[in-house]
């Protein structure tokens, strides 16, 4: 992103092909992930309202427990891609194995915490007396799948670093289908109720983890990489992940503050906010696919010592991010009359959501730049800067958002604050990209 002549058309076409080849399958895999919860909700919902409410509480707790470790995918992608660029596939896979071992250790620790605190956690989230037993049952069984989920994150990072986003797509689709079949069989066929849904999901998650491990182990044997845990390598993976953990926790804090503010605005506002957040997450998947391509391509370029190639790829991916953001913004505006009735028939909720959706639509090009540059800097291994940038963003957003109920403006004002938050992120990331300080070549940063 430093000032330099635009790359020739042939180079841009090459970047376009690479971005599409990585981003399209990545988008498919990202969309497949939330389908797990949708399938569980559809199946459990027919058991009763209390069971569905319990699933909602348990799923929120599980999502939080797993999402904070998404750095397992991000950091592993960057580290593996650098070694691929340097031409050392053995070291690339060895680095990936270190990430997988770290995932297994973290998963064991999280299981211990969840199993010993399941009931208090459910109570803390405010589950009703009728929903709480179902939430605890689902949470305690599903906790057994947490190591598998973390292994999937790390192994996905390995394959992305190896420039392979097709295998994660195939595994995600197979996992979704298996999950749906097992849920129906265990919930209704075996009459296990909500426990059957939890067991079905756990089995599907371990099946996905086994599929990933089979691919990685096959690659390790082909290139002579050791499969044994290496303490130094695991520490290195953890060290690279800490700044990204800070970044993720800061982002989660922003989203929690936004939800808390919306709840204070009233029932119609919080209902509309939840609908908008679901759309915002879906839009984020499309933009995050470009970020995933950025992680893999930038890491490979820097590992190969190709600083100019990294700059050119960054420039082109930002253009893609802006373009996709513009298209998504137009689609949001056009789809508003169709989208909102899918979630609510309450005119008060619809009237509250409509103007806020316009703000979301206008912000999509900004989101496109943010997601793209986030991926570029992750691919460069620039985690410490990403952590500080997100902490700055949190510090700016929190007081502005908390003033919304005081100053008025309702949900629309809250999403103006959210757009301001994304603008601050864009500025911090753009300044870093423009400086060129993220460009550090070599097999390691």
Which pLDDT does position 7 carry in this prediction?
64
For 81-139, write each residue's pLDDT tens digit. 999 999 999 999 999 999 999 999 999 999 999 999 999 988 887 778 898 999 999 99
Instruction: Provide the token pair at 257.
Output: 């503050």
Question: Is this structure's pTM higher than 0.95?
Answer: no
Which pLDDT does position 12 carry in this prediction?
81
Instruction: Give 43-73 as a DSSP string.
Output: HHHTT-HHHHHHHHHHHHHHHHHHHTTTHHH
- Would you say how long the chain is, in residues? 445
| Residue 38 burial by Cβ neighbours in a 10 Å radius (0-12, 13-18, 19+) | exposed
* Residue pair 354/333 in contact by the 8 Å Cβ criterion: no
For 351-377, write each residue's pLDDT tens digit. 889 999 999 999 999 999 999 999 999
d(CA 438, CA 310): 10
For 81-93, write each residue's pLDDT tens digit. 999 999 999 999 9
The number of beta carbons lying within 10 Å of the beta carbon of residue 239 is 11
């Amino acid at each position: 992103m430093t000032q330099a002549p635009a790359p020739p058309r042939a180079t841009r076409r090459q970047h376009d092909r690479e971005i599409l080849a990585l981003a399209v399958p990545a988008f498919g895999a990202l969309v497949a992930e939330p389908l797990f919860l949708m399938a569980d909700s559809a199946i459990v919902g027919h058991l009763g309202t209390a069971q569905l409410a319990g699933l909602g509480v348990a799923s929120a707790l599980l999502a939080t427990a797993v999402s904070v470790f998404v750095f397992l995918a991000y950091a592993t992608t960057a580290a593996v891609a650098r070694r691929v660029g340097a031409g050392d596939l053995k070291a690339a896979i060895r680095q990936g194995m270190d990430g997988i071992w770290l995932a297994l250790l973290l998963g064991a620790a999280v299981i211990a915490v969840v199993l010993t605190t399941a009931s208090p956690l459910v109570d803390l989230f405010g589950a009703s007396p009728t929903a709480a037993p179902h939430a605890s049952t689902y949470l305690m069984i599903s906790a057994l799948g947490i190591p598998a989920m973390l292994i999937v994150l790390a192994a996905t990072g390995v394959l992305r670093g190896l420039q392979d986003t097709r295998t994660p797509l195939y595994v995600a689709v197979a996992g979704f289908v298996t999950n749906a079949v097992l849920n129906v069989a265990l919930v209704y066929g075996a009459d296990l109720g909500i426990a059957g849904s939890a067991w079905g999901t756990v089995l599907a998650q371990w099946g996905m983890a086994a599929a990933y491990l089979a691919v990685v182990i096959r690659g390790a044997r082909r290139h002579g990489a050791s499969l044994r845990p290496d303490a130094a390598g695991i520490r290195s993976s953890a060290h690279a992940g800490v700044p990204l953990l800070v970044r993720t926790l800061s982002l989660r804090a922003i989203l929690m503050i936004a939800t808390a503010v919306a709840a204070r605005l009233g029932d119609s506002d919080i209902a509309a906010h939840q609908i908008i957040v679901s759309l915002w997450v879906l839009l984020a998947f499309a933009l995050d696919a470009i970020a995933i391509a950025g992680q893999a391509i930038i890491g490979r370029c820097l590992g190969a010592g190709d600083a100019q190639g990294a700059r050119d790829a960054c420039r082109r991916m930002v253009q893609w991010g802006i373009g996709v953001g513009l298209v998504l913004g137009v689609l949001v505006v056009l789809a508003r009359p169709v989208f909102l009735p899918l979630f609510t028939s309450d005119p008060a909720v619809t009237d509250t959501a409509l103007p806020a959706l316009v703000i979301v639509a206008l912000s999509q090009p900004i989101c496109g730049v943010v997601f793209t540059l986030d991926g570029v800097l992750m691919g460069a291994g620039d985690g410490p800067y990403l952590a500080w940038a997100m902490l700055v963003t949190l510090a700016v957003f929190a007081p502005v958002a908390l003033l919304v109920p005081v100053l008025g403006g309702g949900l629309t004002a809250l999403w103006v604050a959210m757009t301001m938050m994304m603008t601050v992120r864009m500025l911090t990331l753009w300044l870093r990209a423009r400086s060129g300080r993220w460009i550090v070549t070599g097999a390691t940063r």
